[in-house]
A and B are shown apart, each in its own frame.
Chain A
Amino acid sequence: MRKLKVGIIGSGNIGTDLMYKIERSDALEMSVMVGIDPESEGLKRAKDRGYEVVTDGIDGLMERLELVDIVFDATSAKAHKHHSELLVAAGKKVIDLTPAAIGPFTVPTVNLNEHFAQPNLNMVTCGGQATIPIINAINRVVPVEYAEIVATISSKSAGPGTRANIDEFTRTTSKAIEQVGGAKKGKAIIILNPAEPPILMRDTVHALIAEGGKEEEIAVSINEMVKDVQSYVPGYRLRGTPQFDGQKVSVFLEVEGAGDFFPPYSGNLDIMTAAAAKVANELAKQLAAAEV
């Protein structure tokens, strides 16, 4: 089976970490890293590892479209809109790691294959990737009337884009809690903690469910879901056991990263790149199978 060629736009931390994850894929071939700063660490690393590099951003990539089948965008929501228009018009598959949310939200354990026909898939947010599986796990047992997530990340793992546009996290995550998680109403909170040494990403899901009395089934469903997420984020785990209080369910999670490029405390960044790589891998398998 042919491996699909991958381009990554954005040679920052996310793009660089993603490159290492693509290298491990059996269906993807790392092809080109696209940046705008020739001196960036990500571009240097890509070059050292023998990949093509484009140093003048999307314009440069558009001249070398033969290098890519699937393009990840790890820049900003604003830049992504422009990138996506050009790439989709050129017939490329686009996986969006920015909060632009042009294409449908994709969370691997919940709706991995659902939107593969779409040209652009959005990876929600780190908090969304960590918590929406749990909301879905509850919702498949008892309807979730309301779900709220609290993502606490170390200050060091929050990049300048996230910091400048923190409302985008809140809005995008809330929407995805409803659209993908299945909650009737969603809310998201993000907290930055500067403690040293940096804390692991923590996520809490609070949900109000339609009826009590199915605690055991919900707990089983959550545990199965945690195992599913662990298949691509091994450091994803429950803290304690799910807590039930009438119709309220609280679930505590922590996410330790794989340490590919980010330090392990940055579970928030790792779960984004791991989820994006997982989606691309499955997409590549389907596309390659269709070509045969």
Chain B
Amino acid sequence: MSTQTKRRGDRKHTPKTKMIGLYKRAIQDAFHKLDPRIAVRNPVMFLVWVGTIVTALVTLDPNLFGTVTADPNQQRLLNGLITLILFFTVVFANFAEAVAEGRGKAQADSLRATRSDTMARKVLPDGSTQSVPSTALRRGEQVKVIAGEIIPVDGEVVSGIASVDESAITGESAPVLKQPGTDIASSVTGGTRVMSDELLIRITADPGQGFIDRMIALVEGAERSKTPNEIALTVLLTVLTQVFLIVVATLSPLANYVNTPTTIAILISLLVALIPTTIGGLLSAIGIAGMDRVAQFNVIATSGRAVEACGDVNTLVLDKTGTITLGNRLADEFIPVNGHSLDRLATIALASSLFDETPEGRSIVQLAEKLGAKLDFQPETTEGVEFSARTRMSGTNLAHGQQIRKGAVDAIKGFVRSRGGSLTPELDATYERVSKLGGTPLAVCQDSEIYGVIYLKDIVKPGIKERFDQLRCMGVRTIMLTGDNRITASVIAQEAGVDDFIAEATPEDKIDVIRQEQSQGKLVAMTGDGTNDAPALAQANVGLAMNSGTQAAKEAANMVDLDSDPTKLIDLVTIGKQLLITRGALTTFSIANDIAKYFAIIPTIFSAAGIGALNIMGLKSPQSAILSALIYNALIIPALIPLALKGVEFRPLTADQLLRRNILFFGLGGVIAPFIAIKLIDVILPFA
């Protein structure tokens, strides 16, 4: 697996969306959502919606369902006010959802602006080019894109080297080099711009099915379906609603029996007050906001299910390089063995890294040159040998058949042995010494002779240990995967504070670790960017692919990080947990609210039955009590929209601590707050 080597520093994610007109559009959408075909999707609020229609009818004719004894005009006024409050309860709930959706739509608009129907130079079989609209291009066809032009659709670079500006998607202003033949750099995205030179690109996606198109569909919520937790909560809320519907529907005969006949409007008010409208109105907004928070982090989630799964993750499988340690390991020291001089080792190391363009390779060249090393051959006469996961070494073939190699100590030992060379204990001692320092030892040889070891220094990212401590506190286990030897891996693992590590890991080990953890009933999250990571990304419950990665990795994962920063997986776990905590907190609050509303309305309905003592809030009159409870019920929804969108403040606590905190803040608060609020509204209302 490889990682992108650009500097990330402390760059924070910045939303690229335009929020202008967000609220205006949300207000419009809130009214559009009154369409019964849309309203029916939210069972709790649909009941309020039907109740609004019934109270509207009794406002027009107070005697519709039976002759009322009170003054018809006064009754009409009360019914009208109840209708108005119920109507706004539904509108506020719709507004909460519309605001959450609007943020996603704004981001989709921003992405849509990058997708333009440009003209493309299609390459014909005879090699000539033809100008065609980008929508006419099909998978498998080839296009030529020159400097200044926009890449029409997603594809793979066939030939050419060019720098490409991907800021439209990633927000990263530095252009990225694209060239054929490598997993990462050969993948290009439609909508990005070629800054220099030209590329011949083979199209990998039909129009409308490219990466940006899929991202637009996702952030707009077109593919949004309820997550398992949302479904479970919906069932719970529906059961509660059903129970209260049956109770209220059968209450009228009881009220008549105790000589306190009630009107239909009051029964509907009682029903609306008792059913969990607060969480019913905010439930979808919380889910959408969770996805939006992920999007604000420049991560695209394929579904709410993926975001929610982040909150339930038990195990994080993390690559060492780029995630736990800083991406670039740098050569710190040359350690000669077998009696060779430092100068000779530096010369051989320089020769071995002649064609190595990785940061590690360049740092070896720099250190060698700093030590005064010079090549004793013409570079033009040599041939580079690229690193591969199989050989685990790279190097240079000289003109006279000599072979210089650098790589993992085991690999170099094998190479030397195959050429009849002998091994000394000095090499193993040096290897152990570097490993124990947490560095990566690279052995350097020429044919059958080992010259020494290069000490590549690994630097653990600042603050990563504290992050892992927090994760452990939340019950999340961390496993580090590295191609390094066991000693180096153990030192880094200890320094970083991971729970477990797998040394000398191959890409196949990833999927094995994931399967092993899943077989114990755990949910696993991992990051990846290479084609060989795709099976593991698909197997993991949360697979975060890097945007710089291959198309296969991006398609297999259920999340794509546009900044290509693997550390974000830890942030995503936090966001997922925050989503679950917010949903739990607001559900607790909503259900706890019922107690105060019960004490506000029930004594008024059964006042003649001698239960006036239950009016513990001392509310002025039955009308005032009902209106106060309903006004509170309506206003609490918009009041909680910011909390639903922003999420409850996250603290790394254990499940028990979280439960206690939830019950204390949102349970007790949910009982006390409405008592105070309803009493205040009752005092303000002019009803005597």
Partners in one complex: no
